């Protein structure tokens, strides 16, 4: 019945196709059969079986990591595994499946909807000086919710962790796991030592407009090489790799969890908020969770694994008595372990530089809504809806040590929509109105996201109360270290070089049509003070919080585990 309903909906939606020539009718029918086969071959997941009193492994958080862990651990039939997720299932939601709709998921019921506390050194142009932190609240977590960019961490970070005592975390140790999970569909990379085929996670590029080639040409004109951003060296420009398959998002829930759903030793409990880890004699023995307004206790025979990410995991640890002792005592929480949970918080800032262009290469709302675009996606699995529109990426080393990248670009092939800017960027109405007026009637354009990597500024996460339903207090403390601003200023100078290339000027763009120009007019245009004003007002999260439960050896006072 599900397949018939889907085909009926699409036939009704595209009935006018039958008025076209016979060739189009044939394409339409063939496309329908292909899509019907695809949906028939994708079984509905089996969830919500009655919970048992105990399991060998309890995994809290069915996000990017938790879905993979549940799949891997349940491969052993001797292991009983419970995967607990606070959000719903929703992997079949059109908002989730359609790559171009990624930002429509933010600030919805599928988003935790976190915000930082008002910032002291940044976010001055955002509502209440707060940064809106999106986190996926559903099966697949942020992999069901993000822009699907597949770029691995720097190999040098892995090696540094190993040198600091995290045995087994060097790049040569983790590369085999990257290779195991990947199915690269790019012919030029299939024989690379840094890529593989046959894994569960499909990787291709998000290239759907002529803008992707223009970004690459501009990079070469700056003097940078076109590279594999997941290869031997990230420095340079690349067409952005992405996790999509058959034109649709492929999250870890789709790639790993769904194929494992029918295993009798794996139970998945959605709409279930873990409220406490039960601890006895310094050992996790189970969890308490809230499901259908009821509190349920489930015991763990072997391990409790927290996969809630950089916000939910430290919150749950502190609620359970693991964290800074003074903070826990203030809230009356018995302390099981005095550890720096919630410290060392880091995040990447991005500055979204919008530009209009004089050619019709980029994507507009009208293009997205067009009949042809919807026909391409619904029946052929092609077209602009198969992309997040982040078509290009680049990495730079402003310190010239040829080791770590400290600035990154993403190139987005549209003028960010009102929904994206007001709802997700958290700009106020006046700011967005000024930016729209600056573009005038121009509908075509793109954005260069200048991203600060490796920030020295560190923030904290603390409990607001002992109520697990209360969001924690998140202080990103962005740009509190002045060295970060120095690096960011070098990043915007690289952006200016990019905008001054022949490839960019030929499409009618330059730094002179940056939509930030109506702002910070008290400073000399393009001066360091101008850019610092813009950055401190309008730089915002690119959704990469980390390090609140930092791993490290036992003798590392900043490590949690």
Q: Which residues are catalytic?
A: 544
Euclidean distance between CA atoms 265 and 56, whole angstroms: 10
First to last CA, the chain: 49
Determine the Cα angle at 255 with ends 252 and 258, to 5°. Answer: 95
- Give kind and range of the element (H or E) at residue 30: helix 22-40
Beta carbons of 378 and 27 less than 8 angstroms apart: no
3-state secondary structure of 87: coil
3-state secondary structure of 161: helix
Strands (E), 101-181: 114-115, 132-133
Euclidean distance between CA atoms 117 and 129, whole angstroms: 8
Euclidean distance between CA atoms 63 and 275, whole angstroms: 17
What phi and psi, each to the nearest 5 degrees, are found at residue 157? -65, -45
Say how many residues make up the chain: 561
Beta carbons of 398 and 406 less than 8 angstroms apart: yes
3-state secondary structure of 322: strand
Least Cα distance to 474 among 175, 100, 118 occurs for 118
What phi and psi, each to the nearest 5 degrees, are found at residue 544? -125, 50
Least Cα distance to 2 among 40, 29, 31 occurs for 40
Least Cα distance to 242 among 182, 307, 177 occurs for 182
5, two tokens: 């309903």
Beta 54-60 vs 81-84: how paired, if at all? parallel
String of DSSP letters for 165-222: T-TT-SHHHHHHHHHHHEEE--GGGTT-TT--SSSSEEEEE---STHHHHHHHHHHHT
353, two tokens: 């530089």
Beta carbons of 474 and 386 less than 8 angstroms apart: no
Beta carbons of 474 and 318 less than 8 angstroms apart: no
Helix boundaries (H) for 356-439: 365-369, 371-375, 418, 429-439
3-state secondary structure of 543: coil
Beta carbons of 549 and 311 less than 8 angstroms apart: no
Beta carbons of 444 and 359 less than 8 angstroms apart: yes
Beta carbons of 34 and 56 less than 8 angstroms apart: no
What phi and psi, each to the nearest 5 degrees, are found at residue 25? -65, -40
């Amino acid at each position: 019945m599900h397949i018939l309903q889907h085909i009926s909906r699409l036939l009704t939606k595209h009935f006018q196709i039958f008025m076209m020539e016979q060739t189009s009718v044939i394409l339409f029918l063939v496309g329908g059969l292909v899509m019907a086969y695809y949906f028939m071959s994708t079984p509905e997941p089996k969830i919500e079986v009655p919970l048992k009193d105990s399991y060998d492994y309890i995994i809290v958080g069915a996000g990017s990591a938790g879905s993979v862990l549940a799949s891997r651990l349940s491969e052993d039939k001797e292991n009983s595994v419970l995967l607990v997720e606070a959000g719903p299932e929703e992997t079949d939601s059109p908002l989730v499946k359609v790559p171009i709709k990624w930002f429509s998921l933010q600030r919805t019921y599928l988003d935790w909807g976190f915000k930082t506390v008002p910032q002291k050194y940044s976010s001055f142009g955002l509502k209440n000086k707060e940064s809106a932190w999106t986190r996926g609240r559903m099966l697949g977590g942020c992999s069901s919710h993000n822009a699907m960019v597949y770029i691995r961490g720097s190999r040098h970070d892995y090696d540094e962790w190993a040198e600091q005592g995290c045995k087994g975390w060097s790049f040569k140790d983790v590369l085999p796991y990257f290779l195991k999970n990947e199915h690269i569909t790019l012919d030029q990379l299939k024989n690379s030592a840094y890529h593989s085929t046959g894994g569960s996670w499909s990787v291709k590029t998000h290239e759907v407009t002529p803008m992707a080639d223009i970004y690459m040409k501009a990079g070469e004109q700056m003097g940078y090489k076109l590279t594999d951003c997941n290869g031997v060296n990230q420095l340079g420009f690349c067409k952005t790799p992405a996790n999509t398959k058959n034109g649709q998002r492929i999250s870890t829930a789709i790639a790993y969890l769904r194929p494992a759903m029918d295993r009798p030793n794996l139970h998945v409990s959605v709409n279930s908020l873990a409220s406490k880890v039960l601890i006895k004699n310094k050992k996790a023995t189970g969890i308490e969770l809230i499901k259908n307004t009821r509190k349920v206790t489930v015991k763990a025979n072997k391990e409790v694994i927290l996969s809630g990410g950089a916000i939910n995991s430290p919150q749950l640890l502190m609620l359970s008595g693991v964290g800074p002792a003074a903070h826990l005592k203030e809230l009356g929480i018995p302390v099981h372990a005095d550890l720096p949970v919630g410290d060392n918080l880091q995040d990447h800032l991005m500055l979204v530089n919008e530009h209009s262009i004089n050619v019709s290469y980029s994507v507009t709302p009208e293009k997205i809504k067009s009949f042809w675009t919807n026909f391409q996606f619904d029946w052929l699995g092609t077209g602009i809806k198969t992309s997040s529109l982040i078509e290009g990426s680049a990495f730079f080393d402003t310190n010239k040590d040829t080791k770590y990248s400290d600035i990154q670009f993403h190139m987005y092939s549209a003028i960010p929509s009102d929904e994206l800017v007001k709802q997700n960027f958290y700009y106020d109405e006046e700011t967005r109105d000024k930016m729209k007026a600056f573009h005038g009637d121009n509908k075509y354009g793109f954005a260069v996201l200048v991203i600060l990597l490796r920030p020295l500024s560190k923030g904290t996460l603390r409990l607001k109360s002992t109520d697990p339903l209360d969001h924690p207090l998140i202080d990103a403390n962005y740009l509190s270290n002045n060295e970060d601003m120095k690096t960011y200023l070098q990043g915007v100078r690289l952006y200016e070089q990019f905008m001054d290339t022949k490839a960019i000027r030929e499409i009618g763009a330059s730094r002179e049509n940056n939509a930030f120009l109506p702002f910070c007019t008290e400073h000399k245009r393009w001066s360091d003070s101008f850019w610092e004003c813009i950055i401190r007002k309008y730089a915002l999260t690119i959704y990469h919080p980390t390090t609140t439960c930092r791993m490290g050896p036992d003798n590392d006072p900043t490590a949690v585990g």
